[in-house]
Amino acid sequence: MTQLALVIDLNVCVGCHACVTNCKQWNTSGAAGSLTDCNPYEAEPNGTFFNRVQTFEVGSFPNTETVHFPKSCLHCEDPACVPVCPTGASYKRKEDGIVLVDYDKCIGCKYCSWACPYGVREFDEQRKVMTKCTLCVDRIYDQSLPEERRKPSCVLACPPGARLFGDVHDPESEVSVAIRERGGYVLMPEANTKPANHYLPRRKTALKIRDEELYRSDNPHKIDGAPFDKDLPPTNEELN
């Protein structure tokens, strides 16, 4: 069974919002209709987005870190939003695990958004239906695109490559290897929704040098940086 998902590397994300704008551009131009913008050029601009980037500051000054946190539908393997839907408009595709909304069946009761613990579904104020990330289902299978372009718009847009896309059920896929080897985790595991999307944690890059590593085998008598001591006996290398 295939389960397509995104893996987002928080260590790489720079918070540029390119994924947000490209997601909006692709999904507002598609056959499913535009994603509403209310007051786009006035005070309090707001609208429908499938993907948002939030920013958090972790720690206390001066030991703080800025964490940019992209947030979109996690395409849960046990989605809380699907069984509550009274019309069957919300469904999870068997063939690839994508959670979708049939906009022609949705009555706009918003019940699914209540059941989702992550708040990743957005009610479209003009189309009056529930909308959400589709993993760009209308481009990832598009045979008219070159194969390397058959990816969600957010993944293609990400300048530092913080977003990976693939099948998390295939142990050899790029996303599965990343989750396995780079500490991939899911959001709110206590909600028991088994999110398919994973996040890769922040990593500190630090070089740790132990004292014994400073005592080099090819220079056994001296600690690096110490002045030459002529009273020390010659080494084997010097005698030969």
Partner 1 sequence: MHPALSVIFLTTLIGAGQGLFIALFFCELLAPTATTPGFLAGGSALVLLLCGAGLIASFFHLGHPERAWRAATMWRTSWLSREVIALPAFMAAAFAYGVAHWSGAGHTLLIGVVGVLLALTLFICTAMIYAAIKVLKEWAHPLTPVNFILLGSASGMTLAAAYAGFAAPELTTALAQAAVVLTSLALLTRGAALVRNARLSPASTLQTAIGIRHPRIVQKAQGAMGGSYNTREFFHGKSANFVRTIVPVFLVLTFFVPLALVFSLPLLAFLAQYGGLMAERWYFFAEARHPQNLYYQGKS
Binding site for partner 1 (CB under 8 A): 20, 38-39, 43-46, 48-49, 52-60, 66-67, 69, 71, 80, 83-89, 105-111, 113-119, 121-123, 125, 127-129, 185-192, 199, 201-202
Q: Residue 173 in contact with residue 5, Cβ under 8 Å?
A: no
For residues 86 and 220, which CB has a smaller minimum distance to partner 1 in the complex?
Answer: 86
Looking at the Cβ atoms of 102 and 224, the one nearer to partner 1 is: 102
Smallest separation (angstroms) from partner 1 to the CB of 9: 12
Q: What is the DSSP letter of 202?
A: P
Q: Which tokens in the block code for residue 178?
A: 């990343």
- Taking the least distance from each CB to partner 1, the nearer of 194 and 202 is 202
Q: Residue 10's closest CA among 60, 84, 65, 74?
A: 65
At closest approach, how far in Å is the CB of 131 from partner 1?
A: 9
Nearer to partner 1, 119 or 220 (CB): 119
Give me the least distance between CB of 145 and partner 1, in Å please.
28
Of 93 and 127, which CB lies nearer to partner 1 in the complex structure? 127
State how far the Cα of 7 lies from the Cα of 165, in Å rounded to an integer. 6
Report, in Å, the least distance between residue 191 CB and partner 1. Answer: 6
Strands (E), 82-213: 90-92, 99-101, 122-123, 130-131, 163-167, 198-200
How far is the C-alpha of 147 from the C-alpha of 160, rounded, in Å?
A: 21
| CB of 137 or CB of 191, closer to partner 1 | 191
Q: Which is nearer to partner 1, 64 or 235 (CB)?
A: 64
- Minimum distance from CB of 98 to partner 1 (Å)? 19
How far apart (Å, rounded) are the C-alpha atoms in residues 21 and 18?
Answer: 5
Sequence letter at residue 121: R
Smallest separation (angstroms) from partner 1 to the CB of 195: 11
Contact 127, 36 (CB under 8 A): yes
Phi, psi for 9 (deg, rounded to 5): -95, 105
| Closest CB 225 distance from partner 1, rounded Å | 37
- Does residue 24 come out as left (phi exceeding 0), alpha (psi in the -120 to 50 range) or beta? alpha
Name residue, tokens 């001591």.
229
